[in-house]
Amino acid sequence: MSASDVNLQYVPTWCPGCGNFGIFNSLKKAFATLQLDLEQTVLVNGIGCSSKIGQYVNCYRIETLHGRSLPVATGVKLANHSLTVIAEGGDGDGMGLGMGHFVHTARRNLDISYFIHNNQVYGLTKGQTSPTSEPGMLTKFTPPPLGNVERPVNIVDMAISLGASFVARSYTGDMNHLADMMAQAISHRGFAVLDILQPCVSFNAINTYAWYQQRVRRIAETHDPENRDQARALAGLWGDEIPVGVFLREERPTFADSLAQLKDGPLASRPLEGADISGLMEELA
C-alpha cells in the first residue's frame, strides 16, 4: 500500500495554507509506513475543520457530534478490539465539549490513538478563542485591551497527568516528524495522545508558521520517555522553546485487558445462534 491508496476522490476544502493539509499528508504516510489494513482501520471524528479529514481518508469512518469522537471510538474498540481505532479532532472539539471524555479515556487506557489538531482557535465558526488559545489573543469575540483572559490548556501536561500511556507532540510544518509520531502512536498499545501544532491561516495571527519555526525544538535523545517526572517537567515548557517528540511511553494493561467478556475474542465475531434478548427487550419496553 502506498500513501495514495489512502486518498478518496474528494478534494479537501480547507483554506489554502491550512495546517490540516500537512496533517492529512502525514496521516497517509503513517498508514503506508505501517501498511495498515484499511478494512480493519476506523477513523472517528467530531465536528470542525479538523474533523473534515475523515471525509478524505479511505478507511472506515464515523463522523460524530461535536466533542463526541472518543466515546464513539470507545464503543467501536470494545465491540471489536482487533480493529485499529483512531480518533481525530481539533482543540475546540476535544478540549472543550470533549474534555470529560478525554479525562476518562485517558484514565482507562483504552487502546485508541487520539490526534488533536491544535490550532488554538475555533476556525470553522470564524475565530473564537478555544481552550488552548494564548492569553491576550485578540479576536472579534475577545476585543482589546485585554483580549483573551483565560489560561490555556496544556494538552501534553494534562494527558500525562490523566494517565495516557503514550504522549507526544509534533508540528504540521515538519511532516516527516509528524508521520513518525503518528506511526508510533498507532503502534502503541494503549491510549496514545498526539498534540499536533497547526497554524490557522485565517483566524490565528499569533501562532503562525513563522512563529512555530522559531520555537519548535525536537526533544533530545537523552530524554527517557519512561520517566514520568521527567516527562511532566518537559511538558511544562512553552514559549521561546516548544518541545516536540515523545514525552511519555508506558506499558500497562489496557481497559479491554481487564474485561472478562472480551477474553474469548471480539464481540463482533461471536456467533449469534442461541442469542435471546427478548427478556431484555421486554424489560426496556
- The arithmetic mean of pLDDT across residues 220-233, rounded, is 96
* pLDDT single digits (tens) 54-81: 999 999 999 999 999 999 999 999 999 9
Q: Which of 145, 118, 212 is nearest to 174 (CA)?
A: 212
- Dihedral of the CA atoms 247, 169, 105, 59 (nearest 10)? -130
What are phi and psi for residue 125, nearest 5 degrees? -100, 25
- The arithmetic mean of pLDDT across residues 102-116, rounded, is 97
Percent of the chain with pLDDT over 70: 100
* pLDDT single digits (tens) 169-207: 999 999 999 999 999 999 999 999 999 999 999 999 999
Helix or strand holding residue 195 (H, E) = strand 192-197
Tell the burial category of 38 from Cβ atoms under 10 Å away from its Cβ (0-12, 13-18, 19+). Answer: middle
Residue 273 above 90 pLDDT?
no
Domain boundaries, the chain: 19-284
Cell of 75: 464503543
Instruction: For residue 110, give the amino acid letter.
Output: L
Residue 272 above 90 pLDDT?
no
Q: Give the 3-state secondary structure of 129-188.
A: CCCCCCCCCCCCCCCCCCCCCCCCCCHHHHHHHHCCCEEEEEECCCHHHHHHHHHHHHHC
Percent of the chain with pLDDT over 90: 92
pLDDT mean across residues, the chain: 95
| Calpha distance 129→132 (Å, rounded) | 8
User: Which residues are 285's β-sheet partners?
Assistant: none
Tell me the whole-structure pTM to 2 decimals.
Answer: 0.95
Strand order from edge to edge, sheet including 216-218: 60-63, 41-45, 84-90, 113-118, 192-197, 166-171, 242-249, 216-218
Please state which CATH number belongs to domain 19-284. Answer: 3.40.50.970
What are phi and psi for residue 237, nearest 5 degrees? -80, 130
| Residues written for the chain | 285
* pLDDT single digits (tens) 110-137: 999 999 999 999 999 999 999 999 999 9
User: Which residues are 117's β-sheet partners?
Assistant: 90, 196
Three-state SS for 109?
Answer: coil
* pLDDT single digits (tens) 240-251: 999 999 999 999
Q: Which of 232, 71, 233, 63 is nearest to 162 (CA)?
A: 232
Are 182 and 30 in contact by the 8 Å Cβ rule? The answer is: yes
Residue 214 above 90 pLDDT?
yes
Helices and strands per DSSP (H, E), number in the chain: 9, 8
